[in-house]
Chain A
């Protein structure tokens, strides 16, 4: 579009004329010491805790320590150009981040600056990074499931919308794989996903984004990235910023899912900041408020009532509840879940999914340790058909764990015990699932009917999974109407289950070649 230079001049003239220029009143201080991204500032007597401080036109910091004469501040971003004696201004604002639907499909840093080269984000709204979680009266109990599409999770450790479920395990046990599958599975559910990467390699993030794009799952996802090369301050605020972005969806009556990958590195970043701010170190050199650091973050995940949504939207949205589900990830060292940060977060969350290296290496993937994994509130949120059908599975696996030690004496065991062992082995086998292949509720029901009705009892263990997959395909090809019925109304009925059983038995006898 051609521009006339005089037009441009006119626009600039207008802007200059309209620019409000009252005298600026500000509170000032002077940098007295500057090291490792931490500035001690003399003055700034009216600063608020957590207030943004302006070092120069582009450099900002957060006030974290308020002392008698000085303010301890952590600098966001590069600080190489700052020096002692420079003036620091207070801004009167606490740290804010952009929020809104415009962020979906984008990769941003904690302050909302795009990192994906797709241009500016025109979000009109901002929200403080640190917000207080909704109070008791605004909350509702968890009642809707958040389908991960993973058999082992949705049946044994189900997650409800608004729940906080920890995913814990050593490195290379498939923690992020579970997350990717969960995000992919939200394509049709309308749940918005926010993936917060804390202290990770940029290459891992790039690989994750590529995978999500391949599966068309970036459209409903925001990636907040504070990578290993970003400052500790940036890593420290990343989960809070991501949470504010998620709360936007919760507060307008939508459902959102936030993933913190991972909170161990977040605790490390906070430990670094705290030690440099000369706060007293406690256990494992973490500061005294390390529990509060994570508890206040995870408390923001909630299932809020329709009244809350109505007040937040000033009456524009009515009769709709909102939810923010949190899936924090914690990386353990050598399977030690009794370390400081893992125990803290286990006690904060509503359950954990424990992944084990041994299981992973022996081919059980997702490598979920069923004995140590638990979901404290998810059961209430399960759809009735899955709840009813998975009850038996849970019991069978518990019995199997008890008897597992005897499995090497298989020939000497009595009939009942041997049957229980075999059923357990087959059940475990059928719960294996490849990556990027989340199942729908109806597909999961078929798998559960196979287990519950022991249709696989006469198949060799190594053929069980193959049978389940072919059975799902068979049902899609021949009885799509049954699957559609379940997906539309996932309610248990004995006739429905009998019908599926009959079809599956028929398929096993006629269509499946061992």
Chain B
């Protein structure tokens, strides 16, 4: 995973610079996400890893899906990137390229992506309140992913990248238990 990210970073930077020049970042992100989705399919992985399978077959598989779903601005360059990745046998990097590209976009747009896990589903009002607090605190746009985990018993866990704010009852009880 970490090694993939190291290898993927230069590709992501190249795509990001290209997309910024063309003002087609969203289109590129969509394209890479489609490519990453296909590349993580088990049968595609086995095809990509099989040295006997012709590279054209693999290329065409991606190409057909891309043609249907991609805006024409980026199609030609996306196909070139794809060809390049197939020749270099680096298709497995696509999910990491997507992650790195998304990171670059978030940095540019001053957007922070995080997740909230709560014991009970949060009402829209609560979600709005939480987001408002976070926007003020982080001085950035905030995008939150909501999930529910009844095991927390109460409270919630807020996660931005590696940073975690844990106010769940489960964690508090655990800390109390450890203190004895």
Do chains A and B interact in one complex? yes
- Interface residues of chain A, those whose CB is within 8 Å of chain B, are 15-16, 19, 21, 23-29, 32, 40, 42-46, 57, 67-70
**B6 near A: Cβ within 8 Å?**
yes
CA distance A24 to B170 in the complex (A): 12
CA distance A25 to B137 in the complex (A): 15
CA distance A25 to B159 in the complex (A): 10
CA distance A45 to B103 in the complex (A): 15
If A19-B179, A69-B6 touch, does A45 touch B165 (CB 8 Å cutoff)? Answer: no
Contact A19 B2 (CB under 8 A): no
Contact B165 A42 (CB under 8 A): no
Contact B161 A45 (CB under 8 A): yes
CA distance A32 to B4 in the complex (A): 12
Chain B: interface residue total (CB-CB under 8 A): 20
CA distance A44 to B165 in the complex (A): 14
Residues on the A chain within 8 Å of B161, using CB: 43, 45
If A16-B176, A32-B1 touch, does A25 touch B163 (CB 8 Å cutoff)? Answer: yes
Contact A24 B2 (CB under 8 A): no
**B175 near A: Cβ within 8 Å?**
yes
What distance in Å separates the Cβ of A91 from its nearest Cβ neighbour in chain B? 13
Contact B162 A29 (CB under 8 A): yes
What distance in Å separates the Cβ of B66 from its nearest Cβ neighbour in chain A? 29
If A25-B165, A27-B163, A29-B162 touch, does A42 touch B176 (CB 8 Å cutoff)? Answer: no
Instruction: Encode B1-44 as 1/0 by CB contact (under 8 A) with A.
Output: 11001100000000000000000000000000000000000000
Contact B171 A24 (CB under 8 A): yes
CA distance A40 to B4 in the complex (A): 14
- 16 further A-B pairs in the complex, CB-CB below 8 A; given A25-B166, A27-B163: A19-B179, A21-B172, A24-B164, A24-B165, A24-B171, A25-B164, A26-B164, A27-B162, A28-B159, A40-B2, A43-B161, A46-B163, A67-B2, A68-B5, A69-B2, A69-B5
CA distance A451 to B161 in the complex (A): 76
Main secondary structure of the interface of B (DSSP, over half): mixed
Option from B2, B164, B166 in Cβ contact (under 8 Å) with A42:
B2
The residue on A at minimum CB distance from B167 is A23
Contact A43 B176 (CB under 8 A): no
Option from A16, A25, A27, A70 in Cβ contact (under 8 Å) with B2:
A70
The residue on A at minimum CB distance from B166 is A24
The 27 sampled A-B contact pairs (Cβ below 8 Å) are A16-B176, A19-B175, A19-B176, A21-B172, A21-B175, A23-B155, A23-B165, A24-B165, A24-B166, A24-B171, A25-B163, A26-B164, A27-B162, A27-B163, A28-B159, A28-B162, A28-B163, A29-B162, A42-B1, A43-B161, A44-B162, A45-B161, A45-B162, A46-B162, A67-B2, A69-B6, A70-B2
CA distance A70 to B175 in the complex (A): 27
Residues on the B chain within 8 Å of A15, using CB: 180
Residues on the A chain within 8 Å of B64, using CB: none
**B178 near A: Cβ within 8 Å?**
yes
What distance in Å separates the Cβ of B178 from its nearest Cβ neighbour in chain A? 6
The residue on B at minimum CB distance from A68 is B6
CA distance A16 to B180 in the complex (A): 10
What 4 pairs between A and B have smallest CB-CB spacing? Answer: A23-B167, A70-B2, A43-B162, A69-B2
Contact B175 A24 (CB under 8 A): yes
B window 122-180: CB within 8 A of A: 155, 159, 161-167, 171-172, 175-176, 178-180
The residue on B at minimum CB distance from A43 is B162
Residues on the B chain within 8 Å of A68, using CB: 5-6
The residue on A at minimum CB distance from B9 is A68
Residues on the A chain within 8 Å of B167, using CB: 23-24
What distance in Å separates the Cβ of A89 from its nearest Cβ neighbour in chain B? 8
CA distance A503 to B179 in the complex (A): 69
Residues on the B chain within 8 Å of A27, using CB: 162-164
Instruction: Encode B97-131 as 1/0 by CB contact (under 8 A) with A.
Output: 00000000000000000000000000000000000
The residue on B at minimum CB distance from A24 is B166
CA distance A28 to B6 in the complex (A): 20
The residue on B at minimum CB distance from A25 is B165
Residues on the A chain within 8 Å of B179, using CB: 19
What distance in Å separates the Cβ of A344 from its nearest Cβ neighbour in chain B? 34
What distance in Å separates the Cβ of A45 from its nearest Cβ neighbour in chain B? 5
CA distance A29 to B172 in the complex (A): 20
Contact A28 B164 (CB under 8 A): yes
CA distance A29 to B1 in the complex (A): 13
